[in-house]
Amino acid sequence: MQVVSFLPWGYEGIVVRVEVDIRKGIPGVEVVGFAGTAVKEARERIRVALKNSGFAFPQKRVLINLAPAGLPKKGAWYDLAIALALLAASGQVEAAEGVVLVMGELRLSGEVLPVEGVLSSLIAARREGVRVAVVPAANVAEATVVKGVRVFGVGSLEEAVEVVEAGFPEEREEKGEDVGVEEEWEHDFSSFKGQTYLRRALEVAAAGGHHVFLFGPPGSGKTMGAYTFPSILPPLSEEERLEVLQVYSLAGELQNGSRRTYSNRRPFRAPHHSATVEGMVGGGKEVRPGEISLAHQGVLFMDEAPEFRASILQSLREPIETGRITLSRAGHSFWYPARFQLILAANPCPCGNLGREGAVCACSVQEIKRYWRKIGAPLLDRIDIRFPVSPESPEVLLSDRPEPSAAVRERVERAWSIQRERFAGKDYSRNASMTPEEVETHCRLGDEEQRLLLKAVEQLSLSSRACASILKLARTIADLEGAERIQKDHLLEAVHYRRYGDMDFFWSEL
């Protein structure tokens, strides 16, 4: 039996071969293969766990190799793998031929404790042809999400040995529970009264995967709009759900995950503006995915955007462009997926009263410019929809009867279907991700529409990126209406979303 384990290494990780050599000599144990402190400490944990489980630790020279040797191994998830490999090498366990993935930390009593990254380990092992896995019982829920690998959950070292010696019997195999069901969101569009035009802008954003910037006085509906937004997004496909769960597994958020964690709802992450760079982007001493990766295939909502650190805001540019984030630590490079929809929200000025009817803004022009400059022109230029949100009157709030999310989501799903066909074979399927060449191909304009766009360019001093953004938005609006070509009304609406309304004066001088 060849025992393998797993090394979390960015998103995909690496399968680690656990090799044990026992020979005559002065009794002792040496662990090689760039093993960290926690791995080397496993020698004593395993020695005691074996004794307390009724097995003997070989009184010979023991060499344990974790390959590939050139990559640092940290953490306690190799305990069970080393213990089983040691028992097999010493002849205390009779095991059939084949390769088996083993994950789990051992207590001194022999109890197997849960570890992080189990789902990722199974995906990596399956990629290399491994078809059997022994994992902690507490990790079974995430392990059984991966199809094509037989999973055996164990609560102790003795139980693991029983499974191995029995030849991995079918009756012990974990079948898991299908928890990939769609669940209703707490916030529905039907409860978002008023702000008819904002609801329309969010529908367009959902239909094309466009990023959104909402700005307006406190209490105008920015946060409510953001929290209802995920409810109009179609559910995750099975492939997307597996990607999301893999990120959550690496972050250690699946061990005690609720049923909702495994559902096909798209992630919605709303970090506080006091978040650290590592918490947002990822990294740390033990490299983990951050909030932008935990929002993969979902929504990242950053309320009070100017209050976030400038380094965090500017770090969003890479994932917005590429759909992934690359981290460099100690001479090594790691990547995690980060294809999310960004929603930024901010007050229009430091005091929040600019544009509020009946209120007086106490901010100077320079203070307002400095406030907006915190977000930065490079990031704002990558956001397709900029929407000024003004408070609604009580009469509108009492009389409005918005559509439920299900009705809006149905239209969004039809637009997505059109785009999936348009971008078949690509690693993206939304209009917002179109390349310049694809914009030229899929966003052709008639003579009247061309004249309208040129007029907008002249009056608003639009950059080439802004023009491409407008065309992508117009294509999405046309998709929502089932139109083959972009028409004048589609273009007018798209231009409207690209402006800042009364804030254009401040934006133009950032």
Domain ranges of the chain: 2-172, 189-425
3-class SS of residue 67:
strand
The residue to which tokens 């179109």 are assigned: 434
Per-residue CA distances from 380 to 205, 241, 383 (Å): 15, 29, 5
Distance CA 167, CA 35 (A): 30
Phi-psi region of 245 (alpha: psi -120 to 50; beta: other; left: phi over 0): alpha
**Residue 250: how many CA atoms within 13 Å on its side-chain side?**
32
- Please count the helices (runs of H) and the strands (runs of E) in the chain: 21, 18
Strand partners, 6: 15
Whole-number pLDDT of residue 183: 58
From the list 140, 86, 97, the residue with the least C-alpha distance to 118 is: 140
From the list 337, 503, 310, the residue with the least C-alpha distance to 302 is: 310
Whole-number pLDDT of residue 181: 53
**Residue 374: how many CA atoms within 13 Å on its side-chain side?**
20
Give the tens place of pLDDT for each residue, 159-197: 999 999 999 999 999 987 655 555 567 788 888 888 889
Q: Are 211 and 342 within 8 A, CB to CB?
A: yes
Distance CA 100, CA 81 (A): 9
Helices of type H across 282-429: 291-294, 310-315, 317-322, 365-373, 377-380, 394-399, 405-422
Q: If DSSP states are collapsed to H, E and C, what string results for 265-295? A: CCCEECCCCCCCHHHHHEECCCCEECHHHHC
Q: Are 375 and 344 within 8 A, CB to CB?
A: yes
Whole-number pLDDT of residue 189: 87
Give the CATH number of domain 189-425; options: 3.40.190.10, 3.30.70.1290, 3.10.129.10, 3.40.50.300.
Answer: 3.40.50.300
From the list 60, 59, 56, 115, the residue with the least C-alpha distance to 83 is: 56
Q: Spell out the per-residue pLDDT of the chain, length 510, in tens.
A: 899 999 988 898 899 999 999 998 888 888 888 877 777 788 889 999 999 999 999 999 999 999 998 888 887 889 999 999 999 999 999 877 899 999 999 999 999 999 989 999 999 999 999 999 999 999 998 899 999 999 999 999 999 999 999 999 999 999 876 555 555 677 888 888 888 899 999 999 999 999 999 999 998 899 999 999 999 999 999 999 999 999 999 998 886 655 556 788 999 999 999 999 999 999 887 789 999 999 999 999 999 999 999 999 999 999 999 999 999 876 788 899 999 999 999 998 999 888 787 888 999 988 988 898 899 888 988 999 999 998 887 777 777 788 999 999 999 999 999 999 999 988 889 999 999 999 999 999 999 999 999 998 888 888 888 899 999 999 999 999 999 999 999 999 999 998 754 455 445 554
From the list 100, 118, 111, 186, the residue with the least C-alpha distance to 155 is: 111
Q: Which fold would CATH assign to domain 2-172?
A: Ribosomal Protein S5; domain 2 (3.30.230)
Give the tens place of pLDDT for each residue, 37-76: 777 788 889 999 999 999 999 999 999 999 998 888 887 8
The residue to which tokens 């995967």 are assigned: 209
Whole-number pLDDT of residue 500: 58
Whole-number pLDDT of residue 369: 86
CA torsion, ordered 471, 472, 473, 477, to nearest 10 deg: 100
> How many Cβ atoms sit within 10 Å of the Cβ of residue 275?
16
3-class SS of residue 32:
strand
Whole-number pLDDT of residue 136: 96
Per-residue CA distances from 40 to 24, 34, 37, 76, 97 (Å): 21, 10, 5, 9, 28
| Strands in 428-505 per DSSP E | none
For residue 442, what is the DSSP state? H
End-to-end CA distance of the chain: 64
430 token code pair: 């939304």
Q: What is the DSSP string of 164-223?
A: HHTTS-GGGSB-----------SS-GGG--S-HHHHHHHHHHHHHT--EEEE-STTSSHH
Give the tens place of pLDDT for each residue, 383-406: 999 999 988 877 777 777 889 999
Q: Average pLDDT of the chain?
A: 90
Distance CA 258, CA 237 (A): 19
From the list 166, 224, 174, the residue with the least C-alpha distance to 195 is: 224
